[in-house]
Structure 1
Amino acid sequence: ARGGRAVPVAGRVTRDFGESGEGGPARGLTYSAAAGARVVSPCGGQAVFAGPFRSYGRLLIVDCGGGYHFVLAGLDRLDVEAGSRLLAGEPVGVLGGGDSGNAGGRPSLYLELRRNGQPVDPKGWFRSRG
């Protein structure tokens, strides 16, 4: 059992999985949300990485079990650390103030779901169990 599922932020999808863009098709979903929006873990599992990563702001990787990992990027603040056990829907951090070059000045959260290392459409994850 994967211990529940939760959409990670209250916002709307501005770039869909597979949608073409500068770097080729999107490997995840991009959500546009309010400045300072709270971000929650999309699954129950363990944080395997939590910290700054290249140009992505703060990055969180959650091992959901069964070969599934969620990658959440663009957080301004992380409230968990690597090794933390997480519940689906548990707060993990917040988005920034929207000055990071996103459309309309709203902060965005990038979400990628990998199954055995390969990106898959996260929407199926959220549909299959509420």
Structure 2
Amino acid sequence: MQGIGNRGWLAGVTLLAALLIAGCAAKRGPVPVEDRGTMANAPVSAAPAVPGVPPITTDPSGKPLPGIENYGKPGYYAVRPGDTIRRIGTETGQNWRDIARWNNLDNPDLIEVGQVLRVIPPVGAAGVPAMPPSTDVKTAAPSMSTPPAAAAPAVAAPAPAAAAAASAAAKPTPAIVTASPATPAATASGDEDVGWIWPAQGSLIAGFDEAKNKGLDIGGKAGDSVLAAADGRVVYAGAGLRGYGNLIILKHNNTYLTAYAHNRTLLVKEDQSVQKGQKIAEMGSSDADRVKLHFEIRRQGKPVDPARYLPAR
């Protein structure tokens, strides 16, 4: 009888456990799957996603993120985790102060993941200085591209009928007849013709490795000259990017940027124009294990092997 009682007790416990498991499963239900293609707050026109940027459209309080209506449009950048306004300026080849101004940022250090920022000058905006073609952005983000030349509408050729009327008029209209088309942005072939020189005289201590080293490491002594590898404009000068120390970034044209890292002293300022061979810094060991210059060439935002571009020594 005792054995029968034990078996009955065990059967009861087993049944109770089964009922509990079934009840939990019924309450929990299947794991919900978020359909990101049909979000209620998804940007209008189904703008393409930017790699690495979550499709967030509102902040924790439910308020739409600034600029979300421009998400995925050319010339705009969606803030990614870990981004700072200075890093965004570096990636897009723009001065971070200009980006802050174009987006009316009261505090440039306060930006949110998913927030969408303009990274090219507003067309025709009051108070925005005219910028030469070389400052147009080619690659603001992986999925962004340069929009058609903004100056085209302003210099569009008159319709045939209007041209005929102008030529037949008693008084010529020099403003229309003699107006020259705006100088187009540099062609791809022109952008490639940079005329590089070596940025330092020391020996090469580390070559390019796409996974481990995005440029060349050139040895030397503290205080050795660091030279601009080509004509350009300073778009960054500071120590705000971890791992680079005192860093200078030059923009040469629509296609190429160069970076000069680990300097002891910076001799140029942001927005300053520099000439090929000009001394822009002194070699150092800031944020590095030894004195060296880390030199990068970025083509349309992507690091390339500088040895393929620099002249043979």
Q: TM-score range by the shorter chain?
A: 0.7 to 0.9
Residue 48 in structure 1 maps to residue 232 in structure 2: no
Contact kept in structure 1, 2:297 and 2:305, CA below 8 Å: yes
Q: Residue 16 of structure 1 corresponds to which residue in structure 2?
A: 207
Contact kept in structure 2, 1:60 and 1:72, CA below 8 Å: yes
Q: Residue 298 of structure 2 corresponds to which residue in structure 1?
A: 114
CA offsets per residue over residues 65-119 of structure 1, 9 Å max, x none? 14100011001101101101111100001013799522xxxx1110111000111
Greater percentage in strand: 1
RMSD: 2.4
Deviation at 1:55, TM superposition (A): 3.8
Distance in 1 (alpha carbons) for counterparts of 2:299 and 2:280: 22
Distance in 2 (alpha carbons) for counterparts of 1:17 and 1:100: 17
Residue 29 in structure 1 maps to residue 216 in structure 2: yes
Q: Which amino acid aligns with 2:244?
A: Y
Q: Which one of the candidate residues 256, 266, 283 is aligned to 1:95?
A: 283
3-state DSSP class of the match of 2:310?
helix
Distance in 1 (alpha carbons) for counterparts of 2:198 and 2:311: 10
Contact kept in structure 2, 1:3 and 1:88, CA below 8 Å: no
CA separation of 1:124 and 1:97: change in aligned 2, threshold 3 A: closer
- Calculate the TM-score normalised by the size of structure 2: 0.36
Deviation at 1:56, TM superposition (A): 2.2
Q: Residue 198 of structure 2 corresponds to which residue in structure 1?
A: 7
CA offsets per residue over residues 13-43 of structure 1, 9 Å max, x none? 1110127xxxx43211011112210111011
Percent of aligned pairs sharing the same letter = 29
Contact kept in structure 2, 1:69 and 1:114, CA below 8 Å: yes
Distance in 2 (alpha carbons) for counterparts of 1:99 and 1:51: 12
Q: Residue 80 of structure 1 corresponds to which residue in structure 2?
A: 268
Mind listing any 5+ residue stretches in structure 2 that lack a counterpart? 1-189
Mind listing any 5+ residue stretches in structure 1 that lack a counterpart? none
Distance in 1 (alpha carbons) for counterparts of 2:206 and 2:243: 18
Q: Which amino acid aligns with 1:113?
A: I
3-state DSSP class of the match of 1:123?
helix
Q: Which amino acid aligns with 2:206?
A: R
Contact kept in structure 2, 1:35 and 1:98, CA below 8 Å: no
Higher mean alpha-carbon deviation, 55-64 vs 37-46, is at 55-64
